[in-house]
Chain A
Amino acid sequence: MKNWFVYGIKKGVVTTKYPSGKAEDVAAWSTKPVRVSGGQVDCPTSAICGGDVNMAKCICCGRCSDSFAPNDVVELAEVRMNNSSFKRSFHIYILDAGSCGACNLEVQALGNPLYDLNRLGIFFTNTPRHADALLVVGVVADAMRDVLVETYEAIPEPKLVFAVGSCASSGTLFGLSVTKVLKTDIIVPGCPPNPYTILDALIRAKGGVK
């Protein structure tokens, strides 16, 4: 069977129905841990406050796994501002300001057939000039600070800024968060955030599914 077309027909449709269906095969520890039993927990980023976990600081290290368990809910993003003029066409530009690579790959994974963000009207661009939103992953490394600001300024109005991943949202163990450099509109926590989480953030930021 050396025919791509026949291969494709046999494979069928693998795309998720999310958000109208539920999210499948979500990695447990990319979701928010909730307390299930008592006990002292040593959180390396002080993400645990009272009984609640601040996901923006959580690095999904699992050290709290004796007393906490993940709740498998993917809707974790905090959307401070959205813009529904992007509802049917949302172009995003990814900038790596100093990440470990995981967040880059999770965002890129949205392009694979299992998530397929294009069906929701979201597209990746190769240049900030064509972008509606800037997705920053990673902490802001010293040498990338100017590049980040330059990129932000190259995007025409109206625009949105996403901080994807805990490093971009709060800096965690590694440095400066994006929120301290630019006015951030959407915070997507997780280390790395599940692609569904990122997708949910994108959908809410653009004002919903068309």
Chain B
Amino acid sequence: MILQFLVLIFLLPVSASVVSSRASYFLMATASLLALLFSVFGVVQGITESAVYANNLVLGSDPLSDFFVMVSSVVWFLASVYSLQYDSNPKTNCAMYSVAIYCMLIVLLSRSTILFMFGWEGMSIAGFFMIGYKKHVKSFPAFVFLMFSELSSLLLILTFGFFFYLSGSFLIPQTASLTPFIFIGMTGFFIKMGLLPFAVTEWLPIAHGSAPANGSILLSSVMTLMGVYGILRFTMIAGSSVDYGIALMSIGAFSALFAALYAASSEHTKSLPAFSTIENNGAILVSVGAYMVTESLGYASLAGFALATTLLYSFAHSVAKSGVFMFSGVIEKTTGRVKLTDVEGSQSGFKHATGGLFSALSLMGLLPFGGGLGEWMLLETLFVMSTLPNLFVSVVSIIVGAAIALGSGASLVAMSKLYGFGVLWKKGLSKGGLMSSALFSTGCTVALLGLLGVLVIFIYNSVVMDFADYSTHLILSGLLAIPNGLLIVSSSPQGTFGFVSPTMDFALISLFTAITYVAVGKMRMRRTKVWNNGVPLRGRYNSFAYSNPLRLMLKVFYRTHEHSSTNQASHETIMDIFWVVMIRLAKLVSRFSEQFGRGFMNSKISYYLLYMTVAFAAVMVYLVA
């Protein structure tokens, strides 16, 4: 009953968007809140529900999908509140925004493959419209996005076709055997997550397209989350094997490192977070892989811990990433600039700065924020795995751990750059307003995730139970001055390995700050002229110069090329090597498809497209009914 209710309620914003975008966002915010409430209830209680509409329209919820609905609805709520003030291109954007969210909900709640594909495609097409068609942009961001989305859909269809072949029904099975088809499906999911070598599907549309901040939040935080959900669902269905786990870990580690380095050298307020998403998704994939490996080797406690990492990390990332995009969005709104080197005098105020700061700190992987907790848990998992007796596994864990740590270091550069240069030139107090409030709330959420990480872990116990048959309650413990339940413990087969307590970290930081403040009293401040070697200040150290030592040191990686002429302009270029390969491939494919199209369809392409869409819709209706 609840499920039908949810599905219907989310239709309200979609229909309202035709009339008034503000009403639509408001309704979306309310709907997300309701979804949040229900999903939290569902996760805590561990209930499974299902509702059948017609033969092949099956909705269902279990702790796993409840968890993801929980995470997504937090982001949807914050983004909708943000959009109330932010929205730049009301009608179309709002409609697409609502449709995208609706389809994502469908993806999370569907138990039939047809419905899943409907949601998946709908989500991608809405994304396509949000990114927008820009004739003059050579990189065709919208088409790149659509192309890769269709590729992932194709792979999913293949897998689902295989399921149909096996079981004869369109339902997502409860169990299946681990075959290469599962891996094909997983590939479809990590294309969506934007992992190497498909990174370009994630950063390019966001960087070069005209998706506004709320659209970027959806594309980056939540759509990629769908990929994580998909992988976890398949893992639940098909079980795990060491080989698949190692493969996932390698892909994840590789992506994380590369993406972090690209983020560190990026100058664009949108593409920097986009790269950061790829890095975080890589880390999430590593933890999924770690779960698979440890589960297959029979270490239940480790597997449970690894899965707990995945869930917490995704939660922290989705929220923090939305925060960062909101931050970039405010900068764009107030200064009209997207290049970090041009940003000057953004109207920064307390809420904007704090919200952005917390989100950035979380993404840097610093305690006591949610991202820091996730990072700690991930590295602990890898540390423990490196002590396992299986030599291959431990060596891979060490290498993967090094890559993740390096990526984390590079993300420190990237995020400090984005945050630092984004707030550096304050012109006065912020206008306040809903944008900043939303940003502030996001920041606080991610801070809370860390502080109350123990609570979150406690809550999603049911999810982990479903998977690993291991209670997350065992992860929580106490020590000396730390009350029972506030300590997160990682354990190895030999016993306790390590522990952390972000709540205590925060408590101690606050305590010492308070003591210092009381002891020292009010701060004395004096303003003084800037010292610049005795002459007036001139020139400005910009964000390009901030990461340039990195670009010059890693010349081979970045393909840095410095053009200088004796008299005039000097500049430097770097390239994403995967994108270069993609472009070559794309040119090949496009030449082929042009020839094929000329030969096979000799009329206007758009007619064929229309025909195909209609036919597809008709088939869907037939199958459903």
Listed in ascending order, the chain A residues whose CB lies under 8 Å from chain B are: 127-129, 146-148, 150-151, 153-154
Contact = CB atoms under 8 A, between A and B. Distances in A.
Contacts of B534: 146-148, 150-151
Contacts of A128: 531
Given A147-B535, A150-B534, A150-B535, 4 more contacts: A146-B534, A148-B534, A150-B531, A154-B529
A102 B157 CA distance: 84
Contacts of A153: 529
11 contacts: A127-B531, A128-B531, A146-B534, A147-B534, A147-B535, A150-B529, A150-B531, A150-B534, A153-B529, A154-B528, A154-B529
Nearest to B531: A154
A38 B123 CA distance: 107
Contacts of A154: 528-529, 531
A129 B531 contact: yes
Interface in B14-73: none
Nearest to A156: B528
Contacts of A151: 534
Nearest to A128: B531
Interface range on chain B (Cβ under 8 Å from partner): under 10
B531 to A, nearest CB: 5
A24 to B, nearest CB: 37
Interface in B530-569: 531, 534-535
A147 B535 CA distance: 6
Contacts of B531: 127-129, 150, 154
A138 to B, nearest CB: 14
- The interface centre, meaning the residue of B529, B534, B535 with most chain A CB atoms within 10 A of its CB, is B534
Nearest to A150: B534
A146 B531 CA distance: 13
Contacts of B528: 154
A199 to B, nearest CB: 26
A153 B529 CA distance: 9
Contacts of A146: 534
A114 to B, nearest CB: 31
Interface in B413-461: none
Interface string B573-591: 0000000000000000000
Interface string B465-496: 00000000000000000000000000000000
Nearest to A95: B534
- The interface centre, meaning the residue of A128, A146, A150 with most chain B CB atoms within 10 A of its CB, is A150
A51 B535 CA distance: 45
Contacts of A129: 531
What are the 4 A-B residue pairs with the smallest beta carbon separation, nearest first? A147-B534, A154-B531, A150-B534, A151-B534
A150 B528 CA distance: 11
Contacts of B529: 150, 153-154
A137 to B, nearest CB: 15
A153 B526 CA distance: 14
Interface in B309-324: none
A125 to B, nearest CB: 12
Nearest to A152: B534
A150 B536 CA distance: 9
A153 B534 CA distance: 10
A153 to B, nearest CB: 7
Contacts of A127: 531
A8 to B, nearest CB: 35
A146 B529 CA distance: 14
Nearest to B528: A154
Interface in B505-535: 528-529, 531, 534-535
A172 B515 CA distance: 58
A154 B529 CA distance: 8
B13 to A, nearest CB: 56
A148 B535 CA distance: 10
A128 B227 CA distance: 56
Nearest to A154: B531
A142 to B, nearest CB: 14
B366 to A, nearest CB: 29
B537 to A, nearest CB: 11
Nearest to A147: B534
A95 to B, nearest CB: 8
Contacts of A147: 534-535
Nearest to B532: A150
A150 B534 CA distance: 6
A147 B532 CA distance: 10
A150 B530 CA distance: 10
Interface in B357-382: none
A129 B535 CA distance: 15
A31 B535 CA distance: 37
A153 B528 CA distance: 9
B227 to A, nearest CB: 51
A127 B533 CA distance: 8
A128 B532 CA distance: 11
A129 B533 CA distance: 11
A128 B534 CA distance: 10
A150 B532 CA distance: 9
A178 to B, nearest CB: 15
A129 B534 CA distance: 12
A146 B534 CA distance: 8
B524 to A, nearest CB: 12
A126 to B, nearest CB: 11
A26 B528 CA distance: 43
Nearest to B530: A154
A148 B534 CA distance: 7
A154 B534 CA distance: 9
A143 to B, nearest CB: 10
B151 to A, nearest CB: 57
A170 B535 CA distance: 26
Nearest to B535: A147
A131 B187 CA distance: 62
B234 to A, nearest CB: 60
B180 to A, nearest CB: 64
